[in-house]
Structure 1
Amino acid sequence: MNQVIINTNSFKTRAAVLENGKVMEIHIEREGEGTLNGNIYKGKVANVLPGMESAFVNIGLEKNGFLYVKDLREFEEKYLTGFFETAKPIEELLKVGDDVVLQVLSDPRGSKGARVTTHYTIPGKFLVLMPNNNHIAISKKIKDESERKRLENLFSEIVPNGMGVIIRTAAEGKSIYHFEKELQYLIKKWEEIDIKVKSSKTGELLYKDNGIVSKVLRDIIGNDTDEIVVDNEDVYWEMMDYIRAFTEGVSKVKMKLHAEKDDIFEKYAIQKEIEKSLEETTYLECGGSIVIEKTEALVSIDVNTGKNIGSMNLEETVVKTNIEAAEEIARQLRIRNLSGIIIIDFIDMKIEEDKAKVLEVLEKNLAKDRVKTNIIHFTDLGLVEMTRKRLGKPLSYYFQDECPMCKGTGKIKGSRAIVENIIKELKEIVDEKDVKTIKVLTKESVKEKIDNIYIDFIKAFLKKNGKKIQITTKNRDPLKDYEIILES
């Protein structure tokens, strides 16, 4: 049974997708804080960089948006000048101070601003409206050729000239009744945006993609959803109205209001699963494990046999572990919402058929992912290289902060290195005439290292310069490696 569990309070809204009792996705939106993906802003060009074929645009955020020339050039050629494939450079298309309407493609992250585009899209449940593109595209997940042809012919008749659509997977098998209704709704939204453009100021938000509840209804709930459980009555009726409006007759989805006082995420063991998914290591039922580490550049996943010694030969044990790992990796990518370049180090397999079998399992499980993924291949080093589209924030964003001690490296400065820093600082202050006693406040491990190795050298050095030293573990600031106090 496939379920969607929604928890709402004054501070945040959370949604979890469960497949046969297993948590597969977690979506969180805090009050006043949400993803910028899909938002449309009135912007002003702040800088044009010919060497990078791009421009930075002020859209009212902390960091300027980043616009590639390709995202602008195709739009300019097709809709402003009428010329095609002119390969105009960015400096001929934009000047500093120009106004431009932009949609966010990816949220700001780290030191990078939001990636923006002029290829606008307004998403619905069954289709995505492309108001400045006359192309009709169909989801690759719709495999049946006759159904693809039916949808293409149907939309060719109802989509206005000059506009295009992306037909979503949820449209499969649906009637023109659904599409006409939603198309009118999305066109009206675009017309409202168009009206706002003339009177808006730089940085003004022209369109905001809907909140998490609407996104759940639009993007997650489909033909395979059996039950929705909600713990807020207002949200319950909002969802009920949406389902009635965009489905023929009575939907098969069962709506349930969780009226008990106990936490709905605790009842369905979702909170426990969140906590597990914040750890680097995830354990497999077979006894193996996968270790997931995220860096700025990529996500690395290492598969280990662990306690799985198997009852068969080594190759079969390895393949069995890798297959279970492939299933769990696809799930963890969804739960943790990891994206970008992903490198998977499966346990070494010597037989090509075994590698193909593991890849097939990985592909099959990734096919359930709503976010676009692409498996490249096994590299020469035996690693699987894949990508997952960036969409929203990773799960860790909502629950973890950077460690003030290690600054996100997972390592803290060693005691010997801290002692060397202390000695360096003592050498810098030893010539100060009015200082008689130097107090060093540090942690136990550093004091122990000084007492065992360096104390005689330090005392002799300071005595020669007429100074004494006191070392204590009463560090006033636990976030500092050490603190030096000078007394006259």
Structure 2
Amino acid sequence: MAKQLIINQTLNECRAALIENGEILDFLMERSFHHRPENNHVDFPFVGDIFKGKVVRVLPGMQSAFVDIGYEKAAFLYVDDAYIPTIEEQRDMAEKSKKSMEGKEKQGEVIPDELSTLSEAVNMRFRPDISIETFIKEGDEILVQVAKEPISTKGPRVTRHITFAGRHIVFMPFIEHTGVSRRIESEKERERLKEILETIRPEGTGVIARTVAEGQSYKTLKFDFNMLMKLWKDVSKKAEKARAPAVVHQDLSFIQRVFRDIADEDVDEIILDSKENLKEAEKFVQKFLPTMKGKFKFYGEDSTPIFEKFGIDLEVERAIDNKVFLKSGGSLNIDQTEALVSIDVNTGKYIGRKTFEETILKTNLEAVKEIAYQLRLRNCGGIIIIDFIDMEKEENRITVYNALLEALKKDRAKTNVLPISGLGLVEMTRKRTRDTLSRIMCEPCPYCEGTGRVKSTLSVCYELIRELNKVLAKTKGSKVSIYAHPEVTATLTGEDFDLIDTLEEAHGKSIQIRSENNYHVEQYEIFPQEY
């Protein structure tokens, strides 16, 4: 089946999905009402946006600082992202890092295409001995770039290691480095690209060849570099004149980022349902991605919404549900919390045909593909714990572990996976720079306030009775009124809960119970009438 890029526009919301064989390879969404400010204040900072910020607080104990970038929450700047080393320090550290990494490969690490942040490209700490308070002070005006968007209650994370991502290369104006995406495996091609990059980058700057640079000519890479260099000069000029906090550069528009970040050369068809987006996409492709010309198609004849037509809406609905069913009858339970994401694999209705161990192995292998897919689609990040069904044979555990590493190769985010433990658990991490799909599309339940649970009616009744006993013992009046949820009042007055009459007799007071339909099931009020 052909690989297709589907782009949908609904009022201020734009969604894009890259699909192949009915599976969503990548999904992006943006709602434009919190985008692109006209003044110096930003409604929402996106990854790649550059600001002239003002340091509002330095925390030596945390080796970090908070920077005002014009957003409602101050941006977080860690010491490693704050320190810009000298050229000599960079060269010295690069040499040490190269020697220490020779012949080493981190077990379970799946490397994505280097995109926009330095940490994904150059894994080194320049000055482990330096303290943030020695080179940053409160009130300083500094140039920072968003490395991680605001997530949940946290503000954005920023870095002073500015990067500009083009189609084929990433340009770093402050870091001297020549690199090639680790997804390009051919040593001969890697050396060829390094030679080209060395000739085009000025001393003291850095260039990284992205995965799509494989096989590209000197002319193509030079064109990409010149465009990014011009962009950097424009940003520098704007930053000199701007007064902090101020936006000095905003990343590409949503449509342009879709083509830069998730579209690749082997996309067979690009289908859009907005003529305005179609014009913007064709213009961008004509200038930067000429090989994709002629692949566009306008979706306007069918009355069925485009995402519904291609089954994307259904997949997105599955991605915000806690339970995901497997084709065999098994299932995954996915719970996302502030601390981590837990995934539990169950056989469900699948009973197998041969041995119990083979049934478990087949379920786990099927779960592996779905887990990798759901992590990508939901954009889950941080610590992830996967509870596979226990396997007795060590070779089966290795098979499932290797299958998971293979499935994660499709992921653009960097992952690190530990082998299956004796308890059948897999511990892994996944880098995330944007919020999860569920947080973007959902909000905490106003009834349970996001806990997923409410007290049972019986628990509320006993809690109410304990409170009522205290009120009856203190009040001097002869009457007490109770207001509660209808289910609670029904239980209180039911035959199985014959306590009200007993309390009236014991305290010599009248108790009136009234139902309030607009009360939360856990809400109740007790009013003594003093007279």
When the two chains are superposed, the root-mean-square deviation of aligned CA atoms in Å is 2.6
The match for 1:157 among 199, 204, 223 is 199
Q: 2:481: which partner in 1?
A: 438
Report SS of the residue matched to 1:157. helix
The match for 2:404 among 362, 384, 395 is 362
1:61 lines up with 2:104 in the alignment: no
Cα contact 2:344–2:387 (8 A) shared by 1: yes
Q: 1:171: which partner in 2?
A: 213
Report SS of the residue matched to 2:61. helix
Residue 462 of structure 1: how far off its partner (Å): 5.6
In 2, Cα distance between the equivalents of 1:36 and 1:477?
40
Q: What aligned pairs does 1:237-276 form with structure 2 within 5 A after superposition?
A: 237-247=279-289, 250-251=291-292, 254-260=295-301, 261-276=303-318
Note closer, same or farther for the CA distance 1:468–1:76 as it changes in structure 2 (3 Å cut): farther
Residue 482 of structure 1: how far off its partner (Å): 2.8
The match for 2:491 among 448, 451, 468 is 448
* Greater CA drift, 273-282 or 324-333: 273-282
Q: 2:97: which partner in 1?
A: none
Report SS of the residue matched to 1:32. helix
1:444 alignment partner AA: E
Cα contact 1:440–1:469 (8 A) shared by 2: no
Give the number of equivalent residue pairs: 485
The match for 1:387 among 419, 429, 432 is 429
Report SS of the residue matched to 2:158. strand
Note closer, same or farther for the CA distance 1:348–1:80 as it changes in structure 2 (3 Å cut): closer
* Greater CA drift, 373-382 or 1-10: 373-382
The match for 1:338 among 365, 380, 390 is 380
Q: What aligned pairs does 1:40-439 form with structure 2 within 5 A after superposition?
A: 40-73=50-83, 75-78=84-87, 85=127, 87-247=129-289, 250-251=291-292, 254-260=295-301, 261-427=303-469, 429-430=471-472, 431=474, 436-439=479-482
Cα contact 2:489–2:513 (8 A) shared by 1: no
* Greater CA drift, 104-113 or 476-485: 476-485
The match for 1:472 among 514, 525, 528 is 514
Note closer, same or farther for the CA distance 1:462–1:197 as it changes in structure 2 (3 Å cut): farther
Cα contact 1:7–1:14 (8 A) shared by 2: yes
In 2, Cα distance between the equivalents of 1:438 and 1:446?
12
Residue 228 of structure 1: how far off its partner (Å): 0.8
In 1, Cα distance between the equivalents of 2:504 and 2:275?
73
Residue 465 of structure 1: how far off its partner (Å): 5.7
Cα contact 1:64–1:114 (8 A) shared by 2: yes
Cα contact 1:103–1:116 (8 A) shared by 2: yes
Residue 300 of structure 1: how far off its partner (Å): 0.7
Cα contact 1:283–1:289 (8 A) shared by 2: yes
1:256 alignment partner AA: K
Report SS of the residue matched to 2:439. helix
Cα contact 1:404–1:479 (8 A) shared by 2: no
Deviations 1:140-190 (A, max 9, x none): 111111111111101111122221122111111112232222211111221
**TM-score between the two structures when normalised by the length of structure 1:** 0.92
Q: 1:39: which partner in 2?
A: 49
Q: 2:113: which partner in 1?
A: none
Structure 2 unaligned runs (5+)? 36-44, 93-125
1:447 alignment partner AA: A
Note closer, same or farther for the CA distance 1:422–1:147 as it changes in structure 2 (3 Å cut): same
Cα contact 1:375–1:384 (8 A) shared by 2: yes
Query: Higher relative contact order by CA 8 Å / sep ≥ 6: 1 or 2?
Result: 2
Deviations 1:423-477 (A, max 9, x none): 3543565445578341322231563156456652x55546666643222333333
Note closer, same or farther for the CA distance 1:116–1:450 as it changes in structure 2 (3 Å cut): farther
2:32 alignment partner AA: E
1:258 alignment partner AA: Y
Report SS of the residue matched to 1:349. coil
In 2, Cα distance between the equivalents of 1:462 and 1:63?
55
Q: 2:42: which partner in 1?
A: none
Cα contact 1:349–1:355 (8 A) shared by 2: yes
